[in-house]
Amino acid sequence: MSTTNSLWYKDAICYALHIRSFFDSDGNGIGDINGLIRKLDYLEDLGVTCLSLLPFYPSPLRDDGYDISDYYGIHTDYGTMEHFRKLLDEAHKRNMHVVIDLIVNHTSVKHPWFERARQAPPFSPERDYYIWSDTPERYADAGILFNDYESSNWEWDNTAKAYYWHRFYSHQADLNYANPLVREEMRKVIDFWLELGVDGLRLSSVAFIFQREGTNCENLPEVHEYVKSLRRYVDEWYPGRILLADTNLWPEEAAQYFGAGDECHVNFHFPLTPRLYMALQTEDRYPIIDIVEQTPLIPDSCQWALFLRNHDDLMLSMVTEEERDFLYRVFAQEHGARINKGIRRRLAPLLGNDHRKIELLNSLLFSLPGMPVIYYGDEIGMGDNIFLGDRNGVRTPMQWNSDQNAGFSTANPQKLCLPVIRDPMYRYETTNVELQNQNPNSLLWWMKNVIAMRKRLKAFNFGATTFLDAGNSKILAFCGVTKVKVYWS
């Protein structure tokens, strides 16, 4: 996208979505790129300036596309490369930037690289695209991330006659970044998408890409050296494009991914999110102030990305055991709401569909320092379905109107990628874009107004934030360069 504003991400309004769950243009029950193109006017009217697209690459879809099998393609369910080029053109016409997920840590075991590696001789360049071992005892200090599903970070491969390393699911083998050929392959992937016109790359699970014995194999110095090399490359060849770090870390560690302004441009502030819910439930500002004060100052050219919910569970790994127990008791009372160390619920169900609470948390999202990220459907208070398994309950079709399939698709309802929400409190007949657009008192209109205010007041994006002592712990007061914002519990 041609732009003279190299800091466009500092005041962006980001909207994260699944192409497959947004709008189906051809009636096969699966959202597609052409469907997203048809809904760009809606996103422009909402006030969105940046699209964040979850994986759309060829994949067996055992992990919603994060099990990638081809870095250079589009899954046939979603369209073609020509469709994607048109999406970029149409988004850029509306002054929207487009950021895509780049799955840097692992591939599907169906990826040609892995198929080639498992058949290659030990220690050959092809085999060394991945990490192999004769024993599952290596890297014993590394935790198991998906402990609800996996019992080890090693999986036996009968073809290779060896174990391969995986930090996520066993059908996702981790790439070996100690191999310069892997780093070169990833550079070619970056070239491909940035030359196509993509405005940014979200480096998914980047903290795990290097391993070392005697460590937890996370956030190692080698990771930062690699990210710095990527940043130098992107700055030289693709000025104005950005790198986003996807790192679920404590603020001090997460801030290291900015470097001295020479690593990632943007990083997600994962620890802030659960503390917003804690502060809301306890009617006490302390959890918010505490985590913000733990957050180091970052270079002026960098920005935090803030969110209330995303495509995964509400992650609770960056809280204490006591805080996690409290959040479970309050927000995960329904059987099946917990997963790994998190809660698989959307924003509205987490808050009991209380619009005052939804508005309060969004007020904080849009006024605390950082780039706000809206998860599709949260602007209308969509519900979820925790009985779908894994985190599919927060990835159901967007609810456009009260027609069959919520206006998402004309397909037979049994053909939908996921069923639409029929929970009485959130069913699509009463919670949808069309109805809320017709009601100026709806959550959708409230969100439009808040986004418009945020875009007018640059202090939220570029100003320093100072917390004020309001004399009452139920009041969170803070000021930026030009405004003082006060929120009452």
Q: Are residues 90 and 238 in the same domain?
A: yes
Residues 341 and 258 both lie in one domain: yes
Residue 363 burial class via C-beta count within 10 angstroms: exposed 0-12, middle 13-18, buried 19 and up: middle
Tens of pLDDT, residues 62-82: 999 999 999 999 999 999 999
pLDDT number for residue 146: 84
The pLDDT of residue 481 is 57
Same structural domain for residues 302 and 320? yes
pLDDT for 483 beyond 80 = no
**Within-domain flag for 1:** no
Per-residue H/E/C for the chain: CCCCCCCHHHHCCEEEECHHHHCCCCCCCCCCHHHHHHCHHHHHHHCCCEEEECCCCCCCCCCCCCCCCCCCCCCCCCCCHHHHHHHHHHHHHCCCEEEEEEECCEEECCCHHHHHHHHCCCCCCCHHHECEECCCCCCCCCCCCCCCCCCCCEEEECCCCEEEECCCCCCEEEECCCCHHHHHHHHHHHHHHHHHCCCEEEEECHHHCCCCCCCCCCCCHHHHHHHHHHHHHHHHHCCCCEEEECCCCCHHHHHHHHCCCCCCCEEECCCHHHHHHHHHHHCCCHHHHHHHHCCCCCCCCCEEEEECCCCCCEECCCCCHHHHHHHHHHHCCCCCCEECCEECCCHHHHCCCCHHHHHHHHHHHCCCCCEEEEECCHHHCCCCCHHHCCCHHHCCCCCCCCCHHHHCCCCCHHHCCCCCCCCCCCCCCCCCHHHHHCCCCCHHHHHHHHHHHHHHCCHHHHCCCEEECCCCCCEEEEECCCCEEEEEC
459 located within any domain: yes
pLDDT (tens digit per residue) in 300-355: 999 999 999 988 888 888 888 999 999 999 998 887 888 878 899 999 999 999 99
Same domain, 142 and 244: no
| Residue 28, C-beta contacts closer than 8 angstroms, at least 6 positions apart | 77, 409, 411, 415
Residue 190 has pLDDT above 60, yes or no: yes
Crossing angle between the packed helical segments 221-237 and 180-196, to the nearest 10 degrees? 40
292 in the same domain as 155: no
389 domain residue, yes or no: yes
pLDDT band at 459 (very low <50, low <70, confident <90, very high): confident
257 shares its domain with 302: yes
| Domain edge (last residue) among 133, 156, 174 | 174
Q: How many domains does the chain have?
A: 2
Amino acid letter for position 304 = W
Q: Does 461 map to a domain?
A: yes
Query: Tens of pLDDT along 406-419?
Result: 999 999 999 999 99
pLDDT at 389: 80
User: With 70 as the cut, is the pLDDT of residue 489 above it?
Assistant: no
Residue 248 domain flag = yes
Residue 298, number of CB atoms within 10 A of its CB: 19
- Residue 150 belongs to what domain range? 112-174
Residue 222 lies in a domain: yes
Is the same domain home to 270 and 144?
Answer: no
- Asked whether residue 113 carries a pLDDT value surpassing 60, the answer given is yes
Residues 235, 380 within the same domain: yes
- Among 174, 206, 224, where does a domain finish? 174
- What percent of the chain has pLDDT above 90? 85
Same domain, 198 and 319: yes
pLDDT of the residue at 4: 61
Please report whether residue 3 resides in a domain. no
Which CATH number covers residue 160?
3.90.400.10
The whole-number average pLDDT for the span 221-244 is: 97
Q: Are residues 91 and 160 in the same domain?
A: no
Q: What is the pLDDT of residues 344-376, one digit of tens each?
A: 999 999 999 999 999 999 999 999 989 999 999
Query: Is residue 128 a part of any domain in this protein?
Result: yes
Does 163 score more than 90 pLDDT?
yes
Query: In the listed set 174, 196, 215, which residue is the last one of a domain according to the structure?
Result: 174
CATH number at residue 190: 3.20.20.80
Cα(313)–Cα(345) distance, integer angstroms: 7
> Is the same domain home to 232 and 101?
yes
Residue 485 bridge partners (DSSP)? 478
pLDDT at position 487 over 50: no
pLDDT digits (tens, 9 = 90+) for 24-60: 999 999 999 999 999 999 999 999 999 999 999 999 9
pLDDT at 1: 54
Residue 184's pLDDT is: 97
Give the separation between CA 170 and CA 162, rounded to whole angstroms: 14
User: Are residue 101 and residue 128 in the same domain, yes or no?
Assistant: no
Cβ–Cβ under 8 Å, residues 138 and 213: yes
Considering only residues 310 and 223, tell me which one the structure prediction assigns the higher pLDDT.
223
